[in-house]
């Protein structure tokens, strides 16, 4: 099995990077959608449009992307036998945290759809920083491999 994965290593790596880009794009977009959603009047047609846009972003882009990122990432780690690498442990911890963040955003979408507006626009704008900071640290871990 490992021989087959080794032959396809570059394809696994390319696919992993492509779907990480899709996932990160969605994680950047969703909090911004939430800001616009909260600025729309409750019960308005505009609010209904934002609910639909958020749902589509979650179901069409974010959900498939996170699944493919995890599958290909684990396949890459298996192919290269990286399980004892400290940098990989740190990266996986950050990816787990990003996955939890993704789950939190999905749950907040459901709350917004029910009319529960618990976060301010400022808080949601700050949420845009989470995936960027995590991505920067992950890239450093993978490229520099500090430990």
91 in a labelled binding site: yes
Instruction: Centre a 10 Å sphere on the Cβ of residue 34 and count the other Cβ atoms it contains.
Output: 24
- b (16+ CB within 10 A) / e for 55-64: eebbeebbee
Instruction: Centre a 10 Å sphere on the Cβ of residue 96 and count the other Cβ atoms it contains.
Output: 11
Q: Provide the token pair at 128.
A: 């845009």
Sign of the Cα torsion 98, 127, 104, 28 reads negative
Of 19, 13, 38, 14, nearest in space to 121 by CA: 38
Residue carrying structure tokens 């609910």: 51
Annotated binding site for heme: 16, 91
Annotated binding site: 16, 91
């Amino acid at each position: 099995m490992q021989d087959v994965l080794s032959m396809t290593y570059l394809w696994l790596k390319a696919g992993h990077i492509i779907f990480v880009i899709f996932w990160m794009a969605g994680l950047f977009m969703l909090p911004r959608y939430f800001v616009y959603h909260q600025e729309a009047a409750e019960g308005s047609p505009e609010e209904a449009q934002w609910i639909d846009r958020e749902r589509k972003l979650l179901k069409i882009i974010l959900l498939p992307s996170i699944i493919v990122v995890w599958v290909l990432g684990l396949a890459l780690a298996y192919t290269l036998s990286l399980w004892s690498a400290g940098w990989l442990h740190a990266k996986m911890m950050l990816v787990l945290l990003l996955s939890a963040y993704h789950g939190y955003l999905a749950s907040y979408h459901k709350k917004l759809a029910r009319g529960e507006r618990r976060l301010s626009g400022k808080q949601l704008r700050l949420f845009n920083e989470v995936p960027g900071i995590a991505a920067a640290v992950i890239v450093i871990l993978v490229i520099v491999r500090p430990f």
